[in-house]
Amino acid sequence: MSSHRTAQIDPGNWLGMFGGGQLGRMFTHVAQARGYHVAVFESEESCPAAQAADRYWSSTGTDQAVLERVMQFAQSCQAVTLEFENVPSHWVQLAAQFAPTRPNASFLEVCQHRMREKTALRQAGFPVTPFAPVASVADVLSAGEQLGWPVIIKTCRSGYDGKGQAVVASAAHAAEALSSLQTDDAIAEQRIDFVAEVSLLVARNARGQVVTYPLIENSHSRHILDVSRCPVSPELLPLETSAREIATGIAQQFEVEGLFCVEFFVDARRGLLINEIAPRPHNSGHLTIEAFGASQFEQQLRAVCNLPLAPTTEYRPAAMANLLGDLWFQADDQALAGAAHSTTPRQLEWEHIFATPGAYLHLYGKTQPRLARKMGHLTCVADTAEEAVKRVQYLRQRLTHSI
């Protein structure tokens, strides 16, 4: 690798971001506060990151026009990073001809395809949920026999927050479940009776320095992350050393440059199984903004710019709760199940958050609330993680007068 590719990128330079969601917005705020300029490559000019960025590049148009714009975008930046994994990898490959891309296209390609990801991790010796490829109903039946019913089938690409997956209870349900995914590029995974879900953030720079954050414990509602806490429950603390070793091993094995998150299942025997990798900051890591000396976005910036990585010291226990678009509506059960109607807008009461010491509100600049859409998050710090969880849940409830 040339010295240009490993050079430190100092404040005053331009950084590029593929993707324009809230993760890019929060990265942009941090980068700008440190003196950098940020350009965002995204389809919607009104996206959360573009609202904050110094420059917006449109990803719409003909294929050739977009590729030419990718080249111009990359040439204008000293490094490029990701806030969204469903970016065409050939864009990242093309950008890498003009600026370091952190992480690079090869790691992105591993993470954005579940079959490729599970296979690469298993071949490298990392613990993953048992799996099998699925392209037909016959494959689902074979997976059920091999892995045991029920199995979970997932699209290999683009699924998130419960989308793009189905539980197959038995052979009788195989055809219907696969049809619901509308793809022949899928994966079957053994259904794990897990006792907890945890995540761990890890960063690596071009110098080879690696740092990890402590484990974060996550709870979900309707397949969407609901509340995260750090430190984890006492019974999960012994897993932290193993989780750090796995995450550090992945960073080194795949020579990752940048920040990423490893999501784990904790099985009934207190073993760790990798669920998936996000090659970017993670929703569960938002609590690092207030609870740690350096947030995940600060760490991403340092890794992308090949700066010394910051200590991952937690100052206070914390909990984070997502604020979904559901809060903005009076919604009946039909609407919560996915119907677009039967919703009435309601006024939220923000005063309680601002009146509470140790409570921090983050809204993402999304003008149109929708059911299950992440509109923002709320973080509370407290003397214990248990108290922080109670406080953040209480304050979220107060937004809607529901208590």
pLDDT tens for 211-265 read 999 999 999 998 899 999 999 999 999 999 999 999 999 999 999 999 999 999 9
Q: Which two tokens stand for residue 273?
A: 């199984």
Q: What residues have CB less than 8 Å from 145, skipping those under 6 apart?
A: none
Amino acid at 328: W
Q: Cβ of 121: how many Cβ atoms within 10 Å?
A: 22
Domain boundaries, the chain: 3-101, 130-190, 194-398
CATH topology of domain 3-101: Rossmann fold (3.40.50)
Q: What local confidence, expressed as pLDDT, does residue 223 receive?
A: 87
CA dist 70 and 139 (Å) reads: 39
- Per-residue pLDDT band for 339 (boundaries 50, 70, 90) equals very low
The answer to whether the CB of 358 falls within 8 A of the CB of 392 is: no
- Per-residue pLDDT band for 345 (boundaries 50, 70, 90) equals confident
Q: Place domain 130-190 in its CATH homologous superfamily.
A: ATP-grasp fold, A domain (3.30.1490.20)
- Per-residue pLDDT band for 158 (boundaries 50, 70, 90) equals confident
Same fold, 130-190 and 194-398: no
- Look at residue 72 and tell me whether its pLDDT is greater than 60: yes
- Per-residue pLDDT band for 16 (boundaries 50, 70, 90) equals very high
- What share of the chain has pLDDT > 70, as a percent? 94
Q: What local confidence, expressed as pLDDT, does residue 211 receive?
A: 98
Can you tell me the mean pLDDT for 323-345?
A: 68
Can you tell me the mean pLDDT for 91-99?
A: 98
> Which residue is it, tokens 């890591």?
285
- Look at residue 333 and tell me whether its pLDDT is greater than 60: no
> Which SS3 state, helix, strand or coil, does residue 375 take?
strand
Q: What local confidence, expressed as pLDDT, does residue 147 receive?
A: 95
- Per-residue pLDDT band for 1 (boundaries 50, 70, 90) equals very low
- Look at residue 205 and tell me whether its pLDDT is greater than 70: yes
Can you tell me the mean pLDDT for 40-47?
A: 96
Can you tell me the mean pLDDT for 134-142?
A: 95
Can you tell me the mean pLDDT for 333-352?
A: 68
CA dist 377 and 392 (Å) reads: 10
**In this structure, CATH architecture of domain 194-398:** 2-Layer Sandwich (3.30)
The answer to whether the CB of 94 falls within 8 A of the CB of 69 is: no
Q: What residues have CB less than 8 Å from 174, skipping those under 6 apart?
A: 137, 140, 141, 144, 168
Closest CA to 293 of 319, 308, 311: 311
Q: Which two tokens stand for residue 217?
A: 């414990």
Q: What local confidence, expressed as pLDDT, does residue 344 receive?
A: 78
- Look at residue 4 and tell me whether its pLDDT is greater than 80: no
